Structure 1
Amino acid sequence: MLLIPLLVVSQSTMEYPVIENGMITANPTKVKEFEKGVAAHNKKYHAEGAYGARVYWISNGTNVGKYMWVMGPLTWSAMDTRPAKEGHDEDWNTNILPYTMAEGDQTYWRFHPDLSNFPKDFNLKYLRVMMLDMMSFKEQQFLEQLDKVAAVMKAKYPTEPYGMYTNEMPSSKDGRDFAFVDFFDKMSFLGREDTFPKDFAAVHGEGSWESFLNVMAETTTGMQSELWMFREDLSGLGPKVIAMERQ
């Protein structure tokens, strides 16, 4: 995912920002060659604009040790006009692909600026990516709860950057229909007390948290969380995220 929320989209269009995430497994005996190839490729072909790319290393869970290659955000129509710089595909096939394993995964995530909050500029370092699997035919009921989550976040955590995303091509098998992403720069963020249930009740009233949990139980089938670490050395874009006000 992914997962940087900045894209200048004309307000005259109804198009929305999409982020392309490619999960890559390096051949464990060729990690040095793989990283060298990825770094050179991104700095040559994906170093600016909507087609710029960043790379993250996944540090836990079933995908530990894999790399997440993230491009965008950009609109679906921009996919039709993505630049095909001379030698791009050849470079990927020659200097990256031979050093990877056959397994891989590609996802496209819609960013929801109205539900997210990026109050200030910041530098990428760590991402906590929480993914939920929605039950079939319960998607709308689940999505209606996100406004409540956003209200709590903006009222009680107004200075913290976070994003909400939905999978454009969801599956009932992989458990990645929705993603909530925290951006932070210190590991101590993960060890702080969880006051969200109390904060939720403070914003929405007594009994609201229990009602929210009931809806979650009725609309989701599982959750997984991953910790991603930004690899600037492998990325085309730097760590700086410029926050932009969204309507």
Structure 2
Amino acid sequence: MKKLLMFLAVVFTASAFAQSQEVVYESIYLIPEKANEMKLIEGVKKHNDKFHSEGRSTASLYNVLIGRRSGQYVWLLGPMELSDYDAMPDEVHMLDWQKNIRNNVSSESVQLGKLNWEASYSPPSWGSPKYLLHRTIKINRKYGSYEKVLEAVTKIGKVLAQINAPNPRRVYESIFANENGENITLVYPFKSFTRFNDGNGLPANFQSEYEKVNGLGSFRRDVWDVLSEFSDGFSDEVLQLVN
């Protein structure tokens, strides 16, 4: 999955949903026309204020600070359900999108991601994040790779819950397959870059905590060996909330 969504003050409104409820986000990656970048930011705000200010149609704008798509923007819509996607915007809505957004970008690409509740970890109260780390796993083409990787990610989520880890970690699955195998994205919110003094995503000393729960050597067996065999690594992007 080429980044989701993920992310984001609005991402954590999903915590209010029952964990059996379907939660889907639409992410639209926008490449700005550099001469019109401020017009794009202003245009997104106008469009969101008019059409996406509340409920399941809430939308936010993020800037990609770090990663291969640095300089792009992500327009994030949700949390919603797949059935909401059947109600396509009307002509007035699309004309406003054209005027305020599409006229100020050179291209746009769309992804849909679904929250995996079982694999995710969401403390009951955390606050609104300013930044999001999106870590996308590149799943290889071996038979059963997707299931193996998802199982490893889910085991990590269960241990995060058992140790009452301080920070959330959301897991999103692409609804439509990506040709590069980027179909699972981990979303880590954070409030300050100083967090990375002690780790890059998971809590400091997480491996030892994992092995207290699952036994000596279990982290390598359950996580590193699985990711080594069934994935081609991962890539990171850092997003910053704009509006």
Question: Do they superpose with TM above 0.5?
Answer: yes
Aligned-residue sequence identity (percent) comes to 22
Which residue identity is paired with 1:123? Answer: S
Is 1:226 matched with 2:240? no
The equivalent residue for 1:169 is: 176
Q: 1:118-137, aligned counterparts within 5 Å?
A: 118=122, 119-136=124-141, 137=143
CA contact (8 A) 1:2 1:70 kept: yes
Once the two structures are superposed, residues 175-223 of structure 1 have per-residue CA deviations (whole angstroms, 9 ceiling, x without a partner) of: 5211111112121112224422222222211011221211111111131
What is the SS of the residue equivalent to 1:176?
A: coil
- Opposite residue 195 of structure 1, the aligned amino acid is N
**Structure 1 unaligned residues grouped into runs of 5+:** 233-247
CA-to-partner distance for each residue in 1:75-103, whole Å, 9 max, x for gaps?
Answer: 11121235x4662110111222111113x
- The whole-number CA distance in structure 2 between the counterparts of 1:112 and 1:231 is 26
Structure 2: runs of 5+ lacking an equivalent: none
Note if 1:205 corresponds to 2:215: yes
Q: Which residue in 1 is equivalent to 2:161?
A: 154
Describe the superposition over 1:127-180 as per-residue Cα deviations: whole angstroms up to 9, x where unpaired: 11100011233111222222311122112343322211111112232x521111
Q: Are 2:2 and 1:2 aligned?
A: no
Contact 1:53/1:70 (CA < 8 Å) preserved in 2? Answer: yes
Distance 1:177 1:32 in 2: 32
Q: Counterpart in 2 of 1:97?
A: 102
Q: Does the alignment pair 1:140 with 2:144? A: no
Question: Structure 1 residue 15: deviation in Å?
Answer: 6.2
Matching residue within 71, 76, 82 for 1:65: 71
Q: Is the 8 A contact 1:197 1:209 kept in 2?
A: yes
How many aligned positions are there?
Answer: 227
Between Structure 1 and Structure 2, the one with more helix by share is: 2
| Distance across 2 between alignment mates of 1:169 and 1:196 | 32
Q: Which residue identity does 2:115 align to in structure 1?
A: F
Aligned-CA RMSD value: 2.1
Answer yes or no: is the 8 Å Cα contact 1:5–1:73 preserved in 2.
no
